[in-house]
Amino acid sequence: MTRYVLKRLLLLPVLLFLFSVTVFAIVQAPPGDFLTTYVATLASSGSSISAEQVEALRREYGLDQPVWIQYVRWMENLAKGNLGLSLEYQRPNAELIGERLVLTVVLALFSFVFTWIVAVPAGIYSAMHPRSALDYALTVLNYVGVATPNFMLALVLMWSAFAYFGVSVTGLFSPDFVEAPWNLARVVDLLKHLWLPAVVLGVAGTARLTRVMRANLLDELHKPYVTTARAKGLPEWRLVLRYPARLALNPLVSTIGWYLPALFSGSLIVATVMNLPNIGPLLLRALVNQDMYLAGSILLIYCFLTIVGTLISDILLAWLDPRIRLEEG
Amino acid sequence: MTAPVLEVKDLRVHFFLDEGVVRAVDGVSFDVGPGQVVGIVGESGCGKSVTVRAILQIVEPPGRIVGGRILFTKDGAAAADLTALDAKGPVMRAIRGAEIALIPQEPMAAFSPVHTVGAQVIEALRLHQRQWRPEGAPLSRREARALTIELFRSVGISMPAERIDAYSWQLSGGLRQRAMIAMALSCKPRLLIADEPTTAIDVTTQAQVLNLLRDLQRRDGTAIVFITHDLGVIAQMAHHVVVMYLGRVMEQGAVADIFDAPKHPYTRALLKSIPSVRAAPRTLLPTIAGSIPHPLGRPRGCPFHPRCPDAIPGICANRVPALRPVGPGQHASCFLYHRDEADEP
């Protein structure tokens, strides 16, 4: 088990290197660079910039260098822990990404907890009482949950909150706290605002997870080891939770790692609609404006979190399932 | 004669499927005396497994016990009708696993793969600790573990202190079934139900497991209901035989009578289809004509009549024969012996 984790940790830098090359290639892929986009933006707003100025800027940013030199420079800076400068904002990328990343991860965590707390018990109940009234009701809710675009749900909830309660539920902070430094009051304010986007972002996943949990458990419920446990005289709830539910969870645990990346890209529209200061809108803008070091940094962090997430779910799975743990040696 | 441990009377278990009702067990009666081994034999689908699941009250939906009584007698107590108990209630759960224990068919699939075998035995022990400690302090985890190691040793598991922490898939088929037997015996049941306990393991191990079961049965005087489709196993293990076909008892009696003087044409056909070492080489093995009907297409009248060489025209296809005496301690449900004794269809 320890060897297995160590092996995976040693692989991490290799993977990160491969990802960094890919990320850089993708960010560089669109024709032109930041300055061509910049010139076009200026032109569309009626102002202009001289060709000499553009050339000067290009030299300053190193955009005149071959691609591989640009990559090496980026890597050099990354190795020093420097994420570089945003070409558009003219501010350090670390500063731009920092708080948004934290908020994104916190949001993902809450949405994840909401999903599991609701979906796993609902799936277990449905599987234990198939074709019951509540099972049918949950099934209908699940279809509605999967089929409703989450930004639409966000709009409906925001409108309802405003129309009936007179509260605005956009953003993650009250106006007083948006620029405030971190302290307890700000955390409390964040928690007050966080639950709604967490629920909005979690609804579709909850619906899907409920269905999967129900199906997995239904498969497990008729296995002989359940009969054995029942023949022992265990109370029904205890035996279901201890044996088949435990096995039905294993395939779900292996998908935990995908949760964060899915939320990274999936939350973009909701974040725009609800005015959430998370990382999705920042990444979109960086990509559109070819703010390559900002986009590259975000994508690389994103890859890193995906790898770590997968590692965590693999470790969890090994911990839960001795068949995996003992065979990996 | 002492009172039987278990009396099954006219048990009926039906499965309510979308396609129709499957009468898996349709009027089964038999008794199990104290310390007696009763073998239930029959082809697959004859309802033998459903019968014992009904005794434990663990028939799964859409199956349901629709009729009959299952009387279970504890030491010195009056017989209780198990069918009248709430299957998931505390009274039934106190009987299940403690008074009546199950040895399931496939030891590989019958243990949870993510819990150690020891943990699963300890769980049973602690659940029914009153069987060990009628009075006083509850069984601690450490005591239960020591007891489990002792149980493992008593069923012939070598290195029990190591094996207790193994997962079922780390053990051989024979060891798994021994561990399963240890679990079933862990709470000192009065009645043991063995549902084809040797079907999934190889022949040499099979013999060892059967010997073990027989020794334990003699030592503790546990009554056993032994299910199999293997008549050889029945001859080796059972005192009393119940022959089932399509959810009904065709014949029952002492093992010697059934093997030496089978009365029912179905029993005769079954016995004839056992391969014999004394048969002339290169002769075809006798088989029973026809095949088992579809569960939803049960024949009218005697369930065996379409395949029966001795069927009486006009009678066997119309009425269901009742189980009646055909000799001392031997019963058969066949119109060859009791032309006028019919059951309700």
CB distance B112–A227 less than 8 Å? no
Q: What would the mean pLDDT of A161-172 be, rounded to a whole number?
A: 82
The answer as to whether B265 is a domain residue is yes
The answer as to whether B231 is a domain residue is no
Contact in structure between B38 and B32 (CB atoms under 8 Å): yes
Mutation target among B52, B114, B193 for the A interface, most CBs of A within 10 A: B114
Rounded to the nearest angstrom, the minimum Cα separation between B121 and chain A is 9
Q: What would the mean pLDDT of B296-319 be, rounded to a whole number?
A: 86
Torsion angles phi and psi, residue B116, rounded to 5: -70, 155
Check if A225 contacts B (Cβ < 8 Å): yes
Which of A101-105, B10-14, B330-334 shows the lowest mean pLDDT across its residues? A101-105
Asked if the model's pLDDT at residue B302 lies above 60, the reply is yes
CB distance A234–B123 less than 8 Å? yes
The answer as to whether B114 is a domain residue is no
Rounded to the nearest angstrom, the minimum Cα separation between B309 and chain A is 38
For A215-257, what is each residue's pLDDT tens digit?
999 999 989 999 999 998 899 889 999 999 999 998 888 888 7
The answer as to whether B74 is a domain residue is yes
User: What pLDDT score does B243 carry?
Assistant: 93
CB distance A228–B113 less than 8 Å? no
User: What pLDDT score does A329 carry?
Assistant: 45
Rounded to the nearest angstrom, the minimum Cα separation between B290 and chain A is 31
Check if A218 contacts B (Cβ < 8 Å): no
Encode B183-203: b = buried (16+ Cβ within 10 Å), e = exposed.
bbbbbebbbbbbbbbbebbee
User: What pLDDT score does B1 carry?
Assistant: 52
The answer as to whether B271 is a domain residue is yes
User: What pLDDT score does B344 carry?
Assistant: 64
Asked if the model's pLDDT at residue B275 lies above 80, the reply is no
User: What pLDDT score does A191 carry?
Assistant: 84
Q: Across the interface, which of B94, B111, B180 has its CB nearest the CB of A233? A: B94
Q: Please give the residue that has the higher pLDDT: either B292 or A220.
A: A220
User: What pLDDT score does B345 carry?
Assistant: 56
User: What pLDDT score does A83 carry?
Assistant: 79
Domain around B320: 1-99+240-275+284-345
Q: Could you tell me which chain B residue has the CA closest to the CA of A226?
A: B110
User: What pLDDT score does B292 carry?
Assistant: 83
Q: Across the interface, which of A231, A236, A243 has its CB nearest the CB of B112? A: A243
Nearest C-alpha neighbor of A190 from the set A116, A106, A268: A106
| Amino acid letter for position A267 | S
CB distance B170–A321 less than 8 Å? no
Please, what is the average pLDDT of chain A? Answer: 85
Asked if the model's pLDDT at residue A328 lies above 70, the reply is no
Tokens of A147: 């089929």
Q: What is the pTM of this model?
A: 0.83
CB distance B102–A235 less than 8 Å? no
Q: Could you tell me which chain A residue has the CA closest to the CA of B185?
A: A232
CB distance A322–B113 less than 8 Å? yes
Number of domains observed in the structure of chain B: 1
The answer as to whether B228 is a domain residue is no
Asked if the model's pLDDT at residue B83 lies above 90, the reply is no
User: What pLDDT score does B225 carry?
Assistant: 93
The answer as to whether B29 is a domain residue is yes
The answer as to whether B339 is a domain residue is yes
Q: Across the interface, which of A223, A231, A320 has its CB nearest the CB of B58? A: A231
Q: Across the interface, which of B114, B124, B127 has its CB nearest the CB of A247? A: B114
Asked if the model's pLDDT at residue B230 lies above 50, the reply is yes
User: What pLDDT score does A273 carry?
Assistant: 84
Contact in structure between B182 and B155 (CB atoms under 8 Å): yes
Q: What would the mean pLDDT of B5-29 be, rounded to a whole number?
A: 91
For A245-299, what is each residue's pLDDT tens digit?
999 998 888 888 777 777 676 678 888 888 888 888 888 888 888 888 888 888 8
Look up the CATH number of the domain holding residue B294.
3.40.50.300
Asked if the model's pLDDT at residue B263 lies above 60, the reply is yes
Q: Where are the beta strands (DSSP E) in chain B?
A: 6-17, 20-32, 37-41, 63-72, 80-81, 100-103, 191-195, 223-228, 240-245, 248-254, 320-321, 324-327, 330-332, 342-343
Domains by residue range for chain A, with CATH: 103-283 (1.10.3720.10)
A228 chain-B contacts, CB cut-off 8 A = 102, 104, 110-111, 120, 180, 183
Task: Looking at B155-254, list the stretches that DSSP marks H as alpha helix, in order from N- to C-terminal side.
Answer: 160-163, 173-185, 203-220, 231-237
Check if A223 contacts B (Cβ < 8 Å): yes
Q: What would the mean pLDDT of B255-273 be, rounded to a whole number?
A: 89
Which of B31-45, B96-110, B274-288 shows the lowest mean pLDDT across its residues? B274-288
Long-range own/partner contacts, residues B299-304 (CB < 8 A, 24 or more apart): B300/B345, B301/B345, B302/B333, B302/B334, B302/B335, B303/B245, B303/B246, B303/B247, B303/B248, B304/B245, B304/B246, B304/B250, B304/B265, B304/B266
B105 chain-A contacts, CB cut-off 8 A = 224
ipTM above 0.95, yes or no: no
Q: Across the interface, which of B98, B109, B120 has its CB nearest the CB of A233? A: B98
Q: What would the mean pLDDT of A173-182 be, rounded to a whole number?
A: 78
